[in-house]
Amino acid sequence: MDFREIKEFFRDFLGYIIILVVIIIIFVFIISLQPVAGNSMHPTLKEGNLVVVSKLFYNLGSPKRNDIVNVKDDLGKSYVKRIIGLPGERIEYLENVLYINEKPYSEDFITPEIDTKNFLFEDICSLEKCPGGVIPKNKYLVLGDNRSESVDSRTPEFGLRDKSDIQGKVALKIWPFSEFGRIK
């Protein structure tokens, strides 16, 4: 057997190993793929859509209002939701109007047929858990865009989410290909 063939084989093999390691690093630390289950984010995202989640996004900055994120519940199940309330804010919903610190806030992504049932901040978080009646430090209020079909921060079992529960920001819709593009 020729030693040059063995050397060439190992060089090629090492190249494939390096490519595999780079791909693994990308999917463990930088991005992930998340299928959308259910219609809680309709019409922005629909059941069966596949999105790319940027895991690095919040290592470099803080979550912002209206970011669509991949968030985990207490059982480790992943959801795609929109950040509505930030730490230090008081959130309420009355007559289909979002109030942040008692001031109305327009939600351009909500379609007219979506009805958000009224809720007060106290319905989401008691004064014992949320002193001062505001979202505590490192906690976020997340809602689905299709409020009538969403398990989100209004649901007692889900509640406000810790920053550590936010796995990343949804950056791209990649499936179906006809809808490929940035998420707004």
Domains, the chain, in order of start with CATH, read 33-173 (2.10.109.10)
Query: Bridge partners of 34?
Result: 51
- Let me know if 62 is a catalytic residue: no
Compute the average pLDDT of residues 109-131: 87
Neighbours of 44 (CB within 10 A): 21
Compute the average pLDDT of residues 7-32: 84
Which residue in 32, 55, 81, 163 is the catalytic one?
81
20-34, 83-97, 136-150, 153-167: range with lowest mean pLDDT: 20-34
Tokens of 124: 């989401």
For the cut 80, the answer to whether the pLDDT of residue 141 exceeds it is: yes
Mean pLDDT computed over every residue of the chain: 90
Q: In the structure, what pLDDT confidence band is assigned to residue 4 with cuts at 50, 70 and 90? A: confident
Neighbours of 174 (CB within 10 A): 14
For the cut 90, the answer to whether the pLDDT of residue 53 exceeds it is: yes
Q: In the structure, what pLDDT confidence band is assigned to residue 140 with cuts at 50, 70 and 90? A: very high
Q: In the structure, what pLDDT confidence band is assigned to residue 56 with cuts at 50, 70 and 90? A: confident
Compute the average pLDDT of residues 135-143: 96
Contact 169, 30 (CB under 8 A): no
Q: In the structure, what pLDDT confidence band is assigned to residue 143 with cuts at 50, 70 and 90? A: very high
Compute the average pLDDT of residues 43-59: 89
Percent of the chain with pLDDT over 70: 99
Question: Phi/psi of residue 104, each to 5°?
Answer: -65, 145
For the cut 90, the answer to whether the pLDDT of residue 13 exceeds it is: no
- 50: three-class secondary structure by DSSP: strand
Q: Is 151 exposed, middle or buried (0-12, 13-18, 19+ CB in 10 A)?
A: middle
pTM for the model: 0.84
- H/E element, 92: strand 91-94
- Let me know if 153 is a catalytic residue: no
Confidence at residue 1, expressed as pLDDT on a 0 to 100 scale: 62
- H/E element, 57: helix 57-60
Nearest to 108 by CA among 47, 155, 24, 44: 44
Contact 161, 139 (CB under 8 A): yes
Compute the average pLDDT of residues 114-129: 88
Which residue in 40, 54, 150, 153 is the catalytic one?
40
Confidence at residue 127, expressed as pLDDT on a 0 to 100 scale: 83
